[in-house]
């Protein structure tokens, strides 16, 4: 493939993007094709390539600027490239393939609109970035945030994350802590001479089992928190009482908490236990920001098409990067997020068409 057609039906464009393998750290080819297509098939955009990030923006002097951002990478392919179309038992047409949900269908919608919306009522910024599916240190949007922050200025950011055609507002924060216990090693035949560090995990696990998750309503979006053990480690050999054990705990917290407040909360949950507490990873949440004028207009466009509406985003996404800069940000794209990364990942083609229509109405002011 030497080119992609941005003016093609966004369903066909999604299939074309899926057929370009772009596992994280291997996005050069897809970034080159996206850059070339934007340069050759759009009008009025300033276009910049930064590593494997492709950026484009208009300068029409309009009163508001909308950012549309999507990642180009996928998780490893699982015998699901090239793409294929299937009609299910209900007669619905599905597009199968790696990244069809997460998130090449969202990318296709943004690219198609960039090429076909001639007179937007907002100035537009498009960001197609790499390495979202792996460690945050490699995230291309993070690189832009640090090295070209002026490209992140705007009044509303729309991330093409799969949301089933709903507006999923903001996101929850995430925190991982490692709780370690210490004991005394001994031969298991003389266990009374030791102190089993794994057994010392029991009160930690008990508190997790009894934990009651908080629900928080922000701007009409209900966020439900969760505190979960996600990894347990311990043991030396089959005949040794272990002297060390640890459990990793993940806290998904509502965006009304800061990271420091989340840390304090988790410390309080395990207060009084004999353990070592270490924060291993954290990322703040993002408030929904649905009261901002640009966000209200998007909601009105979605409602005018009789679509799903608005709900909270439970997982963490890159909307957090925009919210930290005071920019309202939402997740909005085709596809069921529960199908992301699966071998049978697939998206209803009607959702791609519907999301395209809703965003076209929003960008042209035809609400």
Active site residues: 73, 132
Give the 3-state secondary structure of 299-323: HHHHHHCCCCCEEECCCCCCHHHHH
DSSP 14-27: HHHHHTS--BTT--
Q: Which residues contact 161 (CB under 8 A, 6 or more apart)?
A: 102, 103, 106, 168, 313, 317, 331, 332, 333, 337
Phi first, then psi: give them for residue 166, nearest 5 degrees: -90, 155
Asked if 47 and 54 count as a contact pair (C-beta separation under 8 A), the reply is yes
Q: Which residues contact 208 (CB under 8 A, 6 or more apart)?
A: 227, 228, 229, 249
How far are the Cα atoms of 171, 342, 355 from residue 321, in angstroms, in the given order? 11, 26, 23
Look at residues 341, 321, 325 and name the one whose alpha carbon lies nearest to residue 100: 341
Spatial separation of the C-alpha atoms in residues 104 and 162, rounded to whole Å? 9
Token pair, residue 205, equals 């696990």
Asked if residue 98 has a cis previous peptide bond (ω within 30° of 0), the answer is: no
Phi first, then psi: give them for residue 180, nearest 5 degrees: -115, 140
Other Cβ atoms closer than 10 A to 331: 27
Spatial separation of the C-alpha atoms in residues 122 and 66, rounded to whole Å? 6
């Amino acid at each position: 493939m030497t080119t992609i057609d941005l003016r093609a039906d966004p369903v066909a464009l999604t299939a074309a993007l899926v057929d370009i393998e772009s596992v994280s750290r291997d996005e050069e080819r897809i970034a080159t094709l996206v850059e070339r297509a934007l340069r050759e098939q759009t009008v009025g955009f300033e276009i910049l390539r930064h590593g494997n990030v492709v950026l484009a923006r208009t300068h029409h002097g309009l009163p508001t600027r909308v950012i549309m951002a999507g990642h180009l990478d996928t998780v490893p392919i699982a015998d699901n490239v090239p793409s294929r179309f299937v009609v299910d038992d209900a007669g619905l047409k599905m597009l199968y393939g790696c990244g069809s949900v997460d998130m090449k269908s969202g990318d296709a919608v943004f690219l198609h609109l960039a090429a076909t919306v001639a007179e937007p009522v907002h100035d537009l910024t498009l960001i197609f970035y790499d390495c979202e599916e792996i460690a945050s240190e490699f995230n291309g949007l993070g690189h832009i945030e640090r090295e070209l922050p002026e490209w992140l200025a705007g009044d509303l950011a729309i991330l093409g994350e799969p949301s089933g055609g709903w507006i999923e507002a903001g996101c929850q924060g995430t925190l991982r802590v490692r709780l370690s216990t210490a004991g005394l090693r001994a031969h298991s035949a003389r266990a009374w001479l030791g102190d089993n560090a794994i057994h010392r995990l029991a009160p930690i696990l008990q508190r997790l089992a009894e934990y009651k998750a908080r629900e928080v309503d922000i701007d009409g979006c209900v966020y439900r928190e969760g505190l979960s053990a996600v990894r347990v480690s311990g043991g030396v050999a089959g005949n040794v009482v272990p002297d060390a054990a640890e459990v990793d705990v993940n806290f998904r917290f509502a965006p009304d908490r800061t990271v420091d407040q989340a840390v304090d909360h988790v410390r309080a949950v395990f207060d009084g236990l004999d353990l070592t507490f270490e924060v291993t990873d954290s990322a703040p949440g993002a408030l929904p920001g649905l009261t901002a004028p640009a966000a209200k207009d998007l909601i009105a466009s979605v409602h005018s098409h009789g679509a799903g509406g608005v709900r909270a985003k439970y997982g963490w996404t890159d909307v957090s990067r925009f919210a930290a800069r005071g920019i309202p940000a939402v997740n909005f794209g085709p596809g069921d997020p529960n199908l992301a990364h699966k071998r049978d990942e697939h998206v209803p083609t009607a959702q791609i068409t519907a999301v395209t229509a809703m965003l076209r109405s929003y960008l042209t002011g035809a609400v």
